[in-house]
Amino acid sequence: MVTIKDISKHSGFSVATVSKVLNNYTDISPATREKVLKLCSDMGYVPNSSARSLKTHRSNTLGIIFEEITNQGLQHPLFAKILESFKSTIEAHGYDIMFLAKSMGKQNGSYLEHSKRKQVEGILVLCEDFNSEEMLELYQSKIPVVIIDYSVDTSVTVTSNNEEGMHQGIDFLHALGHTKIAHIYGDQTTFIGGTRKDAFERYMKQIGLDVPSQYLVSGAFFSKEDGYRAMKKILQLEDLPTAVFCASDMVAIGAIKAIREAGKKVPEDFSIVGFDGIDVGQLISPRLTTIRQDARKMGEIAARKMIQLIDAKTPDMAGETVTVDTYLINGETTRVLK
pLDDT digits (tens, 9 = 90+) for 4-54: 888 888 889 998 888 888 877 778 888 898 898 888 888 887 766 445 444
In a domain, 116, yes or no: yes
Please state, in angstroms and rounded to a whole number, the distance separating the CA atoms of residues 273 and 252: 7
Angstrom CA distances, 187 to 83, 217, 281, stand at: 23, 10, 21
Is the same domain home to 138 and 210?
Answer: no
Q: Is the dihedral of CA 16, 22, 27, 29 positive or negative?
A: positive
Residue 161's pLDDT is 97
Instruction: Tell whether 29 and 128 lie within a shared domain.
Output: no
Q: Is residue 331 part of a domain?
A: no
86 and 175 together in one domain: no
Dihedral sign for Cα atoms in the order 290, 296, 301, 303: positive
Residue type, 97: I
Residue 334 falls inside a structural domain: no
222 plus 245 within the same structural domain: yes
Tens digit of each residue's pLDDT (9 = 90 or more) over 176-189:
999 999 999 999 98
Q: Which residue has the higher pLDDT, 28 or 248?
A: 248
CATH number at residue 151: 3.40.50.2300
pLDDT given for residue 111 in this prediction: 85
In this predicted structure, what is the pLDDT of residue 312?
74
What is the residue range of 218's domain?
A: 162-294
Q: 122-131, 222-231, 260-269: which range is least confident on average?
A: 122-131
pLDDT above 70 coverage of the chain, percent: 90
> In the prediction, which pLDDT does 47 show?
66
Same domain, 185 and 125: no
Query: Do 179 and 244 fall into the same domain?
Result: yes
Question: Which has the higher per-residue pLDDT, 276 or 56?
Answer: 276
Is it the case that residue 292 has pLDDT exceeding 60?
yes
17 lies in the same domain as 27:
yes
In a domain, 330, yes or no: no
pLDDT in the model for residue 56: 46
Same domain, 25 and 85: no
* CATH value at residue 40: 1.10.260.40
Whether residue 315 has pLDDT greater than 80: no
> Does position 313 have pLDDT exceeding 60, yes or no?
no
Higher pLDDT among residues 146 and 59, named by residue = 146
Q: Is residue 52 part of a domain?
A: no
**Average pLDDT score over the chain:** 88
- Residue 336 covered by a domain: no
Confidence of residue 253 (pLDDT cuts 50, 70, 90): very high
Answer yes or no: do 173 and 284 share one domain.
Answer: yes
Q: What is the pLDDT of residue 48?
A: 60
For residues 174 and 269, state if they share a domain: yes
Residues 241 and 316 both lie in one domain: no
150 located within any domain: yes
Give the model's pLDDT for residue 23.
75
- Judge whether 293 and 276 are in contact, CB under 8 Å: yes
pLDDT top residue among 38 and 230: 230
Residues 119 and 224 in one domain: no
Q: Higher confidence at residue 100 or residue 276? A: 276
- The 10s digit of each residue's pLDDT in 78-121 is 888 999 999 999 998 889 999 987 655 555 668 888 888 888 99
Closest CA to 309 of 141, 113, 176: 141
Q: Could you give the number of structural domains in the chain?
A: 3
Most confident of 79-83, 142-146, 151-155, 233-237: 233-237
Predicted pLDDT at 54: 42
- Residue 218 domain flag: yes
